[in-house]
Chains A and B, each alone.
Chain A
């Protein structure tokens, strides 16, 4: 009864009660393409006196989070609702509303687009296939299994490759003509990533370092942001290609997750959603370069920029999304067979400081990485065409293990790696140099997407000079770092930055760090 009276008094004097009991944090999980809209969310939360957090994850991870027995978030804001359709088996997500509409397009260097005769005319996926076959085009694209923009590009490729002109069906995935076309399109990928935002940063950073990629599959709005930056720096813009067979449009749905929060949380969510779909905020979203949902409360459209073929007034044909079961199968096919094969050389730190808990965690991470049932759940499984090299190291590289990604070989490799015992010093550079040699041996013709991965828990002795000299003379594979325990992040970060790689934090969850890295080659 006392509780009831208190609640009733709160009803009478709502403000006073909310002041005395700080509300819990309202947790949103969003795709990286929404990062520039976070200020709009935070402004609203501040005004409402409600703490909000926004966590950025790939679309697959957002989808998988819905399968958790106890969801961690009050709202999901993935790039596209298809990820909710695939993974929200228990229909935990309600009140979905599209905040913006983002087509996934191919940006091509303007001068190359001109050489290819693509300026000012319709370009089909067949034209893109021909350009790749003739060695005239390559591009960056995120992993189709880890990120929505990559999945969208991949599904657009599949859609264009099916000859019957309508949506992809299960049997199309077994059609050699379809898979061959898509394999060619995927061979055009020079670099991949688990995040669309990171990929855009990579394009810009590479352009600054004089590395020219021909193009990039990404959200139209991301291409716009990249072009704004390129223009400021006096560099060549990316010309947007909308393949005539249709593109996939990410509908940026914001949905409420029914979990422990109850009615108050739901009411707050609905207010936030109403705010984001209000005429004023929709106008701001259009000003950010995004197309608005057709039925938006605002009539604003982003400003057209003909110099790179951006015309938000023009109707774009979109592909028909297949059944969720077919998408899931198509993603497995991508990861297990169609994508460009990878070569991954992993330097694993077995220095003395790894004794005990460190060794144990590393064993668990390797057990994840080399157990097909586990990698398949996260769609990071190896394909039989992949090459895996593991080099345990301490003060110098130890004897290495090599394997293909064939399921039968992974178990043997895991058993062998697990015989390693921690001891000795730490020299990441010596191991990185060895890894570089291995990649140059195995990937002379550059048929694989390469990655060097250095997992370390401490400060390295030795210097980077020898490695740098060797890298400059090599096929220039990116170096990824995974930090653990007392790792010196700076050393790994320097290597990653110089080579177009990235550092993952393995201190909180080593398995998760290795898994994320797998989305990058």
Chain B
């Protein structure tokens, strides 16, 4: 079931204004106007995964010191670069979650004054300690010398597409065929990127239209087996965390989501680490793809936002509290305690996503086929 894009866009526009709501309510109040000084007010659409970062009071404050006040509205990455009703609002900037979106924005006729990747986070697989132990035992997942978990992307896709059963991959406590869940690739970026990753991994290089024809059936099988696909990466992660290993044994997500979740409640995190129950774990697919977060400045004024977000202070908060790496995939500060051992210092095996025309064709064919 696919929502009409128009209905979806309407809902997204209606959906939460991030962070600066109080400011919006009070900015016209003459008593308070003096406080705002000569700040540049910028309006734009951002992917929902960056909402907590932009709402972080430290971030709001630092941006303010750079003379910037943001009025950002959450929108899906694919929608913000493609949907007329959003584009027609003439935003100052767009902040989607994949570099392909820059290309797609140009295909939609948007003129970009400047674009720059601000943050990066790799696509990872989330699972649970008990499940991962089984997968390691069966040889599907490997534990590196420094204690991180990796899975060969091609082998994982092969196991899912061939309907291997959990018991065949070392996890007899789960019934049925091995399964992974991602978000709906037609609505949400992490599912979109996972679709691209699968195609790139199956091709072994940058896929063209012919590769899409050759491997589409495999990609479709993996998505079909997911059944219900959440419309947003945040909702899927919430489902994973709420449901536990029985309900969501493996999901596709962003590396930053676990960091952000752990940092949101340190007591809970420490308790889980110390407890005897299942612990959430991340597995790095080899190769994986980076979800780059390019900021597209559509007006001259918005270029200042790019410069501000690249300053070391704002970059460090992005990593430490929200798990986003810097523009080159680097950790921009020391990793938060209790998390460092889970996070790869450097993600070396990455692939580029297929180009925009192939990606568009891929998601349209997935939409038609399910």
Which chain A residues have a beta carbon within 8 Å of chain B's beta carbons? 4, 8, 81-82, 85-86, 89-92, 94, 96-98, 101, 164-169, 244-246, 249, 251, 258, 263, 293-295, 297, 299, 315-318, 320-326, 328
CA distance A299 to B271 in the complex (A): 8
Chain B contact residues: helix, strand, loop or mixed: helix
Stretch at the interface among B12-20, B58-66, B111-119: B12-20
**Contact in complex: B225, A166 (CB < 8 Å):** yes
Does any Cβ of A come within 8 Å of B235's Cβ?
A: yes
Residue of B nearest to A162 (CB): B176
Most buried by B among A89, A246, A295, A299: A295
CA distance A251 to B11 in the complex (A): 24
Residue of B nearest to A100 (CB): B242
Determine which of B14, B238, B243 lies in contact with A96 in the assembled complex, contact meaning CB atoms within 8 Å: B238
Shortest distance in angstroms between B128's beta carbon and chain A's nearest beta carbon?
9
Interface string of B155-189 (1 = CB under 8 A from A): 00000000101000000011111010000000000
CB-CB under 8 A from A92, the residues of chain B are 11
From known contacts A85-B228, A299-B271, infer whether A293 and B241 are also in contact, taking CB-CB under 8 Å.
yes
CB-CB under 8 A from B239, the residues of chain A are 81, 98, 251
Assign chain B's interface to a size class.
Answer: 35 or more
CB-CB under 8 A from B21, the residues of chain A are 263
Interface string of B208-226 (1 = CB under 8 A from A): 0000000000000000111
Chain A to chain B contacts (Cβ below 8 Å), 15 pairs:
A90-B10, A91-B12, A94-B16, A164-B177, A165-B176, A167-B226, A293-B244, A294-B245, A295-B242, A299-B271, A315-B245, A320-B176, A320-B228, A322-B228, A323-B1
CA distance A101 to B245 in the complex (A): 13
CB-CB under 8 A from B228, the residues of chain A are 82, 85, 167, 320-324
Determine which of B173, B174, B225 lies in contact with A167 in the assembled complex, contact meaning CB atoms within 8 Å: B225
From known contacts A98-B242, A320-B227, infer whether A295 and B11 are also in contact, taking CB-CB under 8 Å.
no
CB-CB under 8 A from A317, the residues of chain B are 173-176, 246
**Contact in complex: A294, B242 (CB < 8 Å):** yes
**Contact in complex: A323, B370 (CB < 8 Å):** yes
CB-CB under 8 A from A91, the residues of chain B are 3, 7-8, 11-12, 15, 231
**Contact in complex: B238, A98 (CB < 8 Å):** yes
Determine which of A101, A293, A299, A318 lies in contact with B275 in the assembled complex, contact meaning CB atoms within 8 Å: A299
CA distance A86 to B231 in the complex (A): 12
Which chain B residues have a beta carbon within 8 Å of chain A's beta carbons? 1, 3, 7-8, 10-12, 14-16, 21, 29, 31, 130, 163, 165, 173-177, 179, 224-229, 231, 235, 238-239, 241-247, 261, 265, 268, 271, 275, 278, 370
Shortest distance in angstroms between A332's beta carbon and chain B's nearest beta carbon?
14
Residue of B nearest to A124 (CB): B175
**Contact in complex: A165, B177 (CB < 8 Å):** yes
Determine which of B7, B227, B246, B278 lies in contact with A323 in the assembled complex, contact meaning CB atoms within 8 Å: B227
Shortest distance in angstroms between A338's beta carbon and chain B's nearest beta carbon?
20
CB-CB under 8 A from B7, the residues of chain A are 89-91
CA distance A263 to B20 in the complex (A): 13
From known contacts A4-B29, A91-B11, infer whether A166 and B163 are also in contact, taking CB-CB under 8 Å.
yes
Residue of A nearest to B241 (CB): A295
From known contacts A4-B29, A90-B7, A258-B14, infer whether A294 and B244 are also in contact, taking CB-CB under 8 Å.
yes
Residue of B nearest to A167 (CB): B227
**Contact in complex: B14, A293 (CB < 8 Å):** no
Shortest distance in angstroms between A277's beta carbon and chain B's nearest beta carbon?
10
**Contact in complex: B173, A246 (CB < 8 Å):** no
**Contact in complex: A320, B179 (CB < 8 Å):** yes
